[in-house]
């Protein structure tokens, strides 16, 4: 549905006016802020994996309670999965842009438009990048909540 709206919007805009002016500036800003957010979450989730690994494998005094171990394990798994989702999101974004550029550089031939298949593949990678990005944010939030639970349990020695 969203791609249908997106296509309808592009059909209404003449080709020579796309990607210009204030709307393009807003698109560029949105892209930069999204890239920075992915970079930040990927960095923090990777660091979290190291911290939680140390908490689980190192000696602690007093020893971790079962609740604390579960909270740390949930945080560790969520941060690992968030890291993988961030990497997948970046990879999928690169594939999408490559296929999009290739489609725009490909010329039509007499048998049809070979760009159609490239656009279909581009849209697949766009959808994958979008889903991976959403999962990255959700899993990172789960990891943060699990970390908070661990810290509360640790402080209360619960």
State how far the alpha carbon of 34 is from the alpha carbons of 66, 117, 123, 126, in Å. 38, 27, 19, 14
> 86: closest CA among 135, 23, 122?
135
Give, in order, the Cα–Cα distances in Å from 77 to each of 50, 60, 74, 89: 12, 20, 5, 18
What pLDDT, on a 0 to 100 scale, did the predictor assign at position 15? 46
pLDDT tens for the chain, residues 1 to 158: 444 444 444 444 444 455 678 877 887 888 888 889 989 998 999 898 888 888 778 888 888 899 999 999 999 999 999 999 999 999 999 999 999 999 888 887 767 788 899 999 999 999 999 999 999 999 999 999 999 999 999 999 88
Task: Give the Cα separation of 137 and 99 in Å (integer).
Answer: 26
CA distance 1 to 64: 49
Measured in Å, how far apart are the chain's first and last C-alpha atoms? 49
Q: How do the domains of the chain map onto residue ranges?
A: 19-155
Specify the pLDDT at position 109.
Answer: 76
Check: CB of residue 56 under 8 Å from CB of residue 72.
yes
């Amino acid at each position: 549905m969203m791609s249908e709206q997106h296509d309808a919007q592009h059909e209404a805009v003449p080709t020579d006016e796309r990607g210009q002016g204030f709307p393009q500036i807003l698109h560029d800003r949105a892209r930069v802020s999204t890239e920075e957010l992915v970079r930040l979450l990927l960095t923090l989730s990777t660091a979290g994996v190291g911290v939680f690994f140390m908490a689980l494998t190192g000696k602690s005094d007093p020893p971790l309670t079962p609740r604390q171990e579960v909270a740390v394990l949930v945080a560790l798994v969520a941060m690992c999965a968030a890291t993988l989702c961030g990497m997948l999101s970046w990879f999928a974004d690169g594939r999408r842009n490559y296929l999009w550029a290739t489609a725009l550089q490909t010329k039509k031939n007499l048998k049809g438009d070979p760009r159609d298949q490239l656009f279909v593949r581009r849209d697949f990678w766009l959808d994958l990048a979008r889903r991976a990005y959403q999962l990255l944010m959700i899993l990172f939030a789960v990891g943060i909540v699990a970390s908070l639970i661990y810290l509360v349990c640790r402080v209360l020695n619960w």
